[in-house]
Amino acid sequence: MLTRLPDHGRYGYSPINKRADYDWPDGKRLAFHFATNIEIFAFGTGLGHAPAAVTPPPDHRGHAWRDYGLRVGAWNVFDMLDELALPANHLVNSLMYNYAPEIMDRIRLRGDEIIGHGRTNAERQGVLWEEEEADLIRQVNETFIRYEGKAPRAWMSPWMSHSATTPDLLKEAGYDILMDWPADDQPFWMETRSGRMLSVPYPIEINDVPQMLNRQLTAVEFGQMIRDQFDMMIELSDRRPLVMGVSTHMMVVGQPYRLKPLREALQYIRNHPKADKVWFTRPSDIADHIKALPEGVVPFIPASQGWKGR
């Protein structure tokens, strides 16, 4: 009789209503982080997002649209974030330093967090041999150390692509935060062969690419999704601490007509009557707070154990 399905071996089951309660700093109940994806693509080859039907190779139209995000969209988004005094975290391909170092200067000036995001989104790391994937991560770290003086603490794989050993390789390369597993609204511990690392929630739903490119929702609909997500999560956070993220891509929301409803949604959150219960923060700050809690408040549940309550 079949009693157990093939498993990833990274964490056990834990229902959110059975976990310990805790607060974010200063008694806040909802941690909010705003993420941008700052990505560089190869011309005429490799992977890439597309605004519509892909034209025949080398698809100059699609490449130029993606490049708009770096030439124009990023600056629109940075100005919006400054206007709202909103911290952000940026999922950055390390080859960005070779192409658009001015973008990295602006991130540094803002004091935002850089999230490791591979070399380029023209490739998936999960299809590589283990040694090749380890070398990719090493190259990324070396680049960030060269320009920033340190490697990022958090990682989001290009296209969320994972091999069977990706978490192990990241842990061994010094990462302690992983954002590739959208399984929860709270941080949770994951197993690796070198110890545990923390999963910090990153949205696959409140994310402009799947909603506006894949599902073809309008910018206004996406803005309403952000508001509805916030309204429900601030209500649910009375029961338990939660993390809400918004994920964006510069070539998508950086378009002026899409920027307007995004800005209005973020203004709605900033000016909400319960905004005093919101911690506007970054993934590393969330991880630091979790690690400072007493051991066991955020339980480490091995994949082999899971939750045995009834």
Q: Quick: pLDDT tens for 164-184.
A: 999 999 999 999 999 999 999
Looking at the domain assignment, is residue 114 inside a domain? yes
CATH number at residue 223: 3.20.20.370
Please tell me the pTM assigned to this model.
0.94
Residue 91 and residue 38 in contact, taking contact as beta carbons nearer than 8 Å: yes
In this structure, what token pair is assigned to residue 65? 């649209």
How many structural domains is the chain composed of? 1
On whether residue 264 sits in a domain, the answer given is: yes
Tell me, yes or no, whether 251 lies in a domain.
Answer: yes
Residue pLDDT, tens place only, 271-290: 999 999 999 999 999 999 99
Q: Cβ(179)–Cβ(245) under 8 Å?
A: no
Omega cis (within 30) before 58: yes
* Residue 293 banded pLDDT, cuts 50, 70, 90: very high
**pLDDT in the model for residue 43:** 83
The arithmetic mean of pLDDT across residues 19-34, rounded, is 98
Say how far apart CA 183 and CA 185 lie, in whole Å: 7
> In this model, does residue 85 exceed pLDDT 70?
yes
Residue 212 domain-assigned? yes
Q: Containing domain of residue 76, as a range?
A: 20-41+57-292
Task: Quote the strand ranges of the chain, DSSP E.
Answer: 30-38, 89-92, 113-116, 154-155, 177-178, 188-192, 195-199, 242-249, 278-280
The position carrying tokens 């995000």 is: 69
